Amino acid sequence: MALGIPQLRESIDVLDRQILELVAERLRLVMQVGEVKRSLGLEVYDAAREKDLLERVAKAAPAPLTAAMAQRIFQCIIEESRSLEQRHVSDLSPAP
């Protein structure tokens, strides 16, 4: 017998928590990247990197996720990551 709605939703909830943990881990890495960029005098925004990432996610999107869906999801992740990185870098003490 197929799983019922409560069991399916419980599985979704577990995955949602895992996704949140992975996004948080990604953001911690983004903050570290920001620190390195700052020490090297680089800008937070890297258009080529973002374009490359969106192209890679589109190509890697497994069904039923479409390339466009994957890109929209990652566009949100990128925007939030960039915003956090900018805030984090600006909160650091002045660069040497």
Residue 96 lies in a domain: no
Phi-psi region of 41 (alpha: psi -120 to 50; beta: other; left: phi over 0): left
Domain that holds residue 70: 5-91
Residue 2 confidence class, pLDDT cut points 50, 70, 90? confident
Predicted local distance difference test score (pLDDT) of residue 70:
98
Say how many domains are in the chain.
1
Identify whether the C-beta of residue 23 lies closer than 8 Å to the C-beta of residue 77: yes
Which CATH number covers residue 80?
1.20.59.10
The average pLDDT across 63-68 equals 98
The three-state secondary structure class of 41 is coil
Supply the pTM of this predicted model. Answer: 0.89
Residue 83 lies in a domain: yes
pLDDT beyond 90 at 71? yes
Residue 29 lies in a domain: yes
